[in-house]
Amino acid sequence: MTEITKSAHGAWSSRFTFILAATGSAVGLGNIWKFPYITGENGGGAFVLVYLACVLLIGIPIMIAETMLGRRSQRNPIETMELLTEEAGADKNWHYLGWMGVIAGLLILSYYSVIAGWATAYIAKAFVGSFFDADGTAIKTLFDDFVASPVQMIFWHSLFMAATLLIVVRGVNKGLEKAVQWLMPALFVLMLLLVGYAMTTDSYFQGLHFLFAPDFSKLTSSSVLTAMGHAFFTLSLGMGAIMVYGSYLPKGVSIAQTAFIIAGADTLVALLAGIAIFPIVFANNLHPDTGPGLIFQTLPIAFGNMTGGWIFGILFFVMLSIAALTSSISLIEPAVAWLVENKNVSREKACIWSGLAAWLLGLASIFSFNIWSNVKFFDRTLFQLLDYLTANLMLPIGGFCIAVFAGWIMKQQHSEQELNMPNAQSYQVWVVLTRYVAPLAVFFVFLHVVGVL
């Protein structure tokens, strides 16, 4: 390892740490906070089905493609695109793909850190016993009072951003690896516990029905776009996070196999979150379409009323904050890696500048929940706009370009060599999905949304 770390670019110490780190990037607020509330807003079952189809047919092939591009070049996303464009003798405009990823990462980080700040604030609330014996109304008031206060939100947002930077500054081996090694299993166990609680409510089957019985009349073209966008968001695809992590992956590790493991774990956590949350929603006469506050208005009810809820509540929000942390570090890593490797900036300075930019923009999201809640563009608050722009537009466009580049531009002989699949058929399946299925699916969803279809 010492040999590799001497260069500017680090490397994972094993395949297992790559899986942990990439799963750490994938599993985060997207699974536990976002998946339930957008499922609630988009009518449940049918939306979930579209999301699952997108993960399988678009997400996994693109995850393989993105990891492969990173590993081939062993550089940050911007240089990866420069290098591989040259190798393939392709048009220089492909360079912009790397840029878009770096920018999308910082844009997402800006509001991601705000919501992660909520999770961190809720550790404190759990600790002082705010959930104790509380009913739905008390928990809602607690949440409403919290988001009405810019000062409190700025405090937690700053704290979370500082934690992100502290880890990223230490670099890939020391910082990122350590953070993810114990978190994933612990988080998983806590999710199971919450599912156990959901089973004790008398709305368990109503929750399951909402989540898994598809009613296609509830599906609009905009919910299909949201489901597709979420497949990218939750798997950390389309902006270079997985590319950067792939670039730290030792040669010779099977990329396809790891992609399946990562996507499988990610999907499982999201479904568990849904199974835990919706029964609580119905049991307490709450509405599935409550919006971004959904988990903060439901899970505390469970913690307030179950035996041992005090400690489980604390543990849950600690886990959620750390899950968010292992994602946020991957949101900023492309920008930092580029500044360090390309601009000769020190890792410290690179972290400070990128972190500051995302922190400042985060203020806009904070205010959109209170003092700027009436400021709207295209009928959306600034937070909603940033979320839409990144998750629904930039990530799918980035993913589309990655698929086209890996499937059409890169020489097949290179991708075949890099992927090194166990047999020719698996490689062919990937080629078909990456060349045709994934890009066409993204394309048609977009056409549908702009009303052409």
- Chain residues in the site for ligand PHE (CB under 6 A): 25-26, 28-31, 108, 233-234, 236, 239, 241, 327, 330-331
* CB-nearer residue toward ligand PHE: 26 or 363: 26
* CB-nearer residue toward ligand PHE: 41 or 283: 41
Residue 185 in tokens: 């299993």
Residues in Cβ contact with 84 at an 8 Å cutoff, skipping those fewer than 6 apart:
69, 72, 73, 94, 405, 410
CB of 198 to ligand PHE, least distance (A): 21
CB of 264 to ligand PHE, least distance (A): 14
* CB-nearer residue toward ligand PHE: 24 or 300: 24
* CB-nearer residue toward ligand PHE: 301 or 324: 324
* CB-nearer residue toward ligand PHE: 297 or 328: 328
Q: Are 54 and 231 in contact, with CB atoms under 8 Å apart?
A: yes
* CB-nearer residue toward ligand PHE: 226 or 330: 330
Q: How far apart, in Å, are the Cα atoms of 281 and each of 14, 135, 204, 294, 421?
A: 41, 12, 10, 9, 44
- Helix or strand run (H / E) with residue 305: helix 294-305
Least Cα distance to 394 among 446, 338, 325, 333 occurs for: 446
CB of 188 to ligand PHE, least distance (A): 15
Q: How far apart, in Å, are the Cα atoms of 335 and each of 140, 258, 268?
A: 37, 24, 30
* CB-nearer residue toward ligand PHE: 59 or 300: 59
By three-state DSSP, how is residue 5 classified? helix
CB of 327 to ligand PHE, least distance (A): 4
CB of 273 to ligand PHE, least distance (A): 11
* CB-nearer residue toward ligand PHE: 47 or 204: 47
* Alpha carbons 118 and 33: distance in angstroms, whole number: 11
Q: Hey, what amino acid is at 252?
A: G
> To which residue do tokens 């110490």 refer?
13
* CB-nearer residue toward ligand PHE: 262 or 283: 262
CB of 241 to ligand PHE, least distance (A): 4
* Alpha carbons 81 and 98: distance in angstroms, whole number: 6
CB of 328 to ligand PHE, least distance (A): 7
Least Cα distance to 61 among 453, 442, 429 occurs for: 429
Q: Are 208 and 289 in contact, with CB atoms under 8 Å apart?
A: no
CB of 353 to ligand PHE, least distance (A): 19
CB of 108 to ligand PHE, least distance (A): 6
Q: Count CB-CB contacts under 10 A for residue 360.
A: 10
Residues in Cβ contact with 358 at an 8 Å cutoff, skipping those fewer than 6 apart:
106, 107, 109, 110, 113, 161, 332
* Alpha carbons 203 and 201: distance in angstroms, whole number: 5
- 80-83, Cβ contacts within 8 angstroms, sequence gap of 24 or more: 80/243, 80/247, 81/405
Q: Are 29 and 324 in contact, with CB atoms under 8 Å apart?
A: yes
CB of 342 to ligand PHE, least distance (A): 20
- The percent helix, strand, coil of the chain (3-state, each to 5) is 80, 0, 20
* CB-nearer residue toward ligand PHE: 126 or 231: 231
CB of 146 to ligand PHE, least distance (A): 21
Q: Count CB-CB contacts under 10 A for residue 45.
A: 20
Chain residue at closest Cβ approach to ligand PHE: 30
* CB-nearer residue toward ligand PHE: 239 or 283: 239
